[in-house]
């Protein structure tokens, strides 16, 4: 898919990735792909299938932000325009050749990496699972990097490459998401929700929640009870 306008956050099997204007993404199973409720904009979606591309698709699982250069963008939009916007009949052979060329371009970068690089996806997924299971703990970037294990700077680069967010931003987003759930679904006090989501004080939780959501935790819960959230 190609992001024409706006910003999107996609989730597939717990893996979250952000995309903005000009980004290209690949997903092997679009039926399992979900978008965040705050995602807004315009995108071009191209679904590719058939025996001609089966081997390439089988080798490239998951959701990936593609190495996006001018040539990939130009080829993607050329295929789209040839199928959807052209006033002349398009050549199936020509389109098929262009699609295979596009897939090869998109996948060659990741397929040329060494085995350790190719295993980063699994390692990042394990970190994501760890974050989800331990949101009430201190999840410093150093602590997460040690679990890979790798340096903090390298971990930051790898994590952002595969998720679209820095480790800090991702953890904070998950804390806020869990806090919303607890405020909607439980009678826990604001203090209890703060500690359940890893904040070191109620005051800090209220400040961060309000900054990110636009209303305080108490107001958020009240709006929920009034069936407006």
Instruction: Identify the three-state secondary structure at position 227.
Output: coil
pLDDT (tens digit, 9 = 90+) per residue, 54-96? 555 655 566 777 765 677 888 888 888 888 877 777 777 778 7
User: For position 227, what pLDDT does the model report?
Assistant: 58
Alpha-carbon distances, residue 224 vs 180, 185, 202, 221 (angstroms)? 10, 9, 20, 5
Rounded mean pLDDT of 132-159? 89
Rounded CA gap, 84 and 87, in Å?
Answer: 9
Record the tokens describing residue 73, joined without a space. 């963008």
Give the number of other Cβ atoms within 10 Å of residue 204's Cβ: 11
- Give residue 226's pLDDT band: very low, low, confident or very high (50, 70, 90): low
Judge if pTM exceeds 0.85: no
More confident residue, 21 or 192: 192
The rounded mean pLDDT for the chain is: 80
Q: pLDDT value at position 229?
A: 44
Rounded Cα–Cα distance for residues 110 and 118 (Å)? 7
Please say whether the beta carbons of 168 and 143 come within 8 A.
no
Structure tokens at 96: 């098929």
- More confident of the two residues 49 and 210: 210
Locate all alpha helices (DSSP H) within 40-166, ordered by sequence: 54-59, 70-84, 92-111, 115-118, 120-133, 141-146, 152-163
Per-residue pLDDT band at 176 (split at 50, 70, 90): very high
171 in Cβ contact with 137 (< 8 Å): no
**What would the mean pLDDT of 18-45 be, rounded to a whole number?**
80
d(CA 144, CA 157): 13
Q: Where are the domains of the chain?
A: 2-112, 115-229
- Is 1.10.10.60 the CATH number for 115-229? yes
């Amino acid at each position: 898919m190609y992001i024409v306008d706006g910003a999107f956050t996609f989730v597939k099997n717990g893996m979250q990735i952000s995309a903005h204007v000009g980004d290209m993404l690949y997903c092997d199973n679009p039926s399992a792909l979900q978008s965040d409720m705050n995602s807004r904009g315009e995108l071009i979606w191209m679904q590719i299938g058939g025996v001609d591309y089966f081997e390439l698709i089988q080798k490239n699982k998951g959701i990936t932000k593609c190495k996006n250069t001018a040539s990939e963008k130009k080829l993607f939009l050329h295929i789209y325009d040839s199928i959807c916007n052209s006033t002349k009949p398009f050549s199936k052979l020509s389109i098929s050749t262009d699609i295979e060329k596009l897939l090869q371009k998109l996948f060659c970068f990741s397929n040329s990496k060494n085995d350790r690089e190719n295993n980063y996806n699994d390692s990042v997924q394990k970190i994501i699972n760890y974050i989800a299971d331990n949101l009430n703990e201190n999840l410093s970037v150093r602590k997460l990097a040690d679990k890979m294990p790798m340096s903090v700077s390298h971990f930051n680069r790898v994590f952002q490459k595969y998720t679209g967010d820095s480790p800090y931003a991702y953890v904070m987003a998950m804390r806020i998401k869990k806090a919303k759930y607890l405020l909607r679904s439980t009678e826990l006090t604001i203090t209890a929700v703060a500690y359940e989501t890893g904040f070191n004080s109620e005051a800090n939780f209220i400040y961060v929640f309000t900054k990110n959501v636009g209303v305080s935790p108490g107001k958020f819960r009240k709006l929920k009870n009034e069936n407006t959230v």
